[in-house]
Amino acid sequence: MNNLQKWIVLLVLALMLVIPNPVFKTVLCLAYFLYLIVENYRDGAAAYSKHLNLALYCVLIFVLLFQHVQHYEIYLIAIFMVLLGVLVEHLDYNAFIGIRIPSTRNSEKNWRKTHHLMAVLSIPFALCLLILSQFINPETAILATTVSWLAISILYSIYEYTYEIN
């Protein structure tokens, strides 16, 4: 991490503490996440994963700190879900980023199929998030769609791996 990146991280964290509006905080987190994708993708999977994991943890902690998710923030979270789906679709096989369970680590074919499914499901689950948030509590909608999205991908990976072994 060079000095410019360190200053950007400190600036983002300082702005997160100072800015009172949750929408601006969400946009700031997403902008920082996209900056890390563009800036560090060329450095390889190991260097990229450290920054990406940091950004993901910051966004997840921020989302968990919402006391009440506003209607417009649901759209930002849905966009983030689609962007994450696009990102995992284009990742090369590695041991640092993505669904890291034994079935995906042991088989490159399984890893690719699992992440392709996760990418394909990102748009329907983002739409499901938008629809569910109109009828139920937004926090519950976020939790239900995210857990379902990940669970389907993980269960598919386990099923595909056992089928591949036999």
Predicted confidence at residue 114, as pLDDT, reads 92
Please report the pLDDT score of residue 68 as a whole number. Answer: 56
Give residue 48's pLDDT. 53
- pLDDT value of residue 154: 92
CA of residue 31 relative to chain centroid, distance: 13
Distance in angstroms between the alpha carbons of the first and the last residue of the chain = 44
Report pLDDT for 101: 87
Residue 91's pLDDT is 80
Q: What is the pTM of this model?
A: 0.61
Q: Please tell me the predicted confidence (pLDDT) of residue 148.
A: 95
CA separation for the pair 12, 28 (Å, rounded): 7
pLDDT of residue 138: 83
d(CA 161, CA 106): 9
- pLDDT on residue 164: 83
User: What is the dihedral angle through the alpha carbons of 104, 108, 114, 119, rounded to the nearest 10 degrees?
Assistant: 130
Tell me the average confidence (pLDDT) per consecutive run of 10 residues in the chain, 166 residues long: 65 68 68 65 56 60 57 80 84 79 88 91 91 87 92 93 84
Predicted local confidence at residue 34, as pLDDT: 65
Task: Please state, in angstroms and rounded to a whole number, the distance separating the CA atoms of residues 79 and 158.
Answer: 28
